[in-house]
A and B are shown apart, each in its own frame.
Chain A
């Protein structure tokens, strides 16, 4: 009995220790990455190329998802609001849900699946092909040359994608609410205009998506950078990007919501 307890405790201790070591290593990588980002100001091309890769190619999935989320919000919102005879507030409901929560969160989850996985696989395969080691031997730090531009591209692309998601979503809510169901158009827009605050709602949403951008992009890059240089290693790293990325986004969202809107 005593022995099972002590082995259990020892295992728990080892687990915590490994977690702390990993967290420390990730933090050190993060700091090195930030410290090496200054050089990018002289070569903005490196970042803009990556924004194109990460941002533009995610545009379709973000826009289409935004449209459907807007449709669903329009329908569900109408059914609930209709019970209390306040279907004019539909525009407000759709806009607030999207700018405060769904825009940043769903965009971040989709981003982890669409762009995060491709970043992890790209970096992992570069490592497996000794390309990162070759770069180091050419006196070029891959953290600065490969990871940093991708990191900033992700951080910049995320709020923009979230804004597009929200905008398309509101349009989707409008199509269903006003176009199909017949909610009064003037009420739809004027309630939205009156109820959405540019700072407490929109800016907080943008802030959220910036935080998610940092988290998801860094997790994706770090998983690729630390992947075992084998096919299984890269496969596992890609999975971890989505799992850890999604969990961190949801947990951060709860934390930020509690701080911002309480």
Chain B
């Protein structure tokens, strides 16, 4: 069976600033694939390219056999109905209750009766453990809960592909474990494919089937979590073991401190 998402020799730049170059990635159906890397390595951009919110300068993004960049706007929207995306901060609609947030995609894309919709939304909320919080506003719940509501909203239409943008960022250890568990359980229960963008090594390795490491716009390593743990690649070792210095330097590149202070001129 062909993979659900395929990225081939992709180049992407924001204006003149190149971000991704020569990217090749495969996301097979039914799996959870983690895309890992430091902040600013272009992980989120990969998700936006798959969702068609950005267009690459060259290369292909193929979702379910279709080239995303070649789709018309209406085809793109049809494709997105089969996708769910969890945004980094949840991106809940602040003027709607938790219930209405989850009901939103259902109201927009289906003609379900009000009672059917009510039951369906409660089931989705139950799956993330929040059916009793249905009446609350997003401002009244914690960050971890907001993330789970956003997850319930993302899976409201039973998507083929679920994309997670930093689902663990800013969560306490318990919420983190809960979220990781949910991602695995939902993926298997819905029979969907998940792309997990994260820099959290422990939780991601626990649930992912395959891992891509992204650094400075390139894939530097990929394999199963076990292979990555064993890897001797210096970047992977630095990342997995959270070492402060390594191939990724501690200092932002540029002039040395001595030069900045004007000391090197005195030395001459």
Contacts and interface: CB of A to CB of B under 8 A. Distances in A.
A162 B94 CA distance: 32
Interface in A124-144: 126, 129-131, 133-134, 136-141
B26 interface: no
Contacts, number: 46
B80 A138 contact: yes
B114 interface: no
Interface residues of B, number: 22
B108 A134 contact: no
Given A130-B87, A133-B53, A133-B87, A139 B94 contact: no
A140 B108 CA distance: 7
Contact of A130 (B89, B104, B105, B108): B89
B225 to A, nearest CB: 27
A236 interface: no
B89 A137 contact: no
Contact of A134 (B77, B81, B91, B109): B91
A145 interface: yes
B80 A139 contact: yes
Contact of B91 (A129, A139, A141): A129
Contacts of B84: 137
A140 B83 CA distance: 12
Contact of A137 (B83, B93, B94, B109): B83
Contacts of A131: 91-94
Nearest to A122: B95
A178 B89 CA distance: 62
A113 to B, nearest CB: 22
B51 interface: yes
B68 interface: no
Interface of B: 51, 53, 77-78, 80-81, 83-85, 87-89, 91-94, 104-105, 108-109, 150, 153
Interface of A: 126, 129-131, 133-134, 136-141, 145
Given A129-B89, A140-B109, 17 more contacts: A130-B89, A130-B91, A131-B92, A133-B53, A133-B87, A133-B91, A134-B85, A134-B87, A136-B51, A136-B80, A138-B104, A138-B108, A139-B80, A139-B108, A139-B109, A140-B105, A141-B77
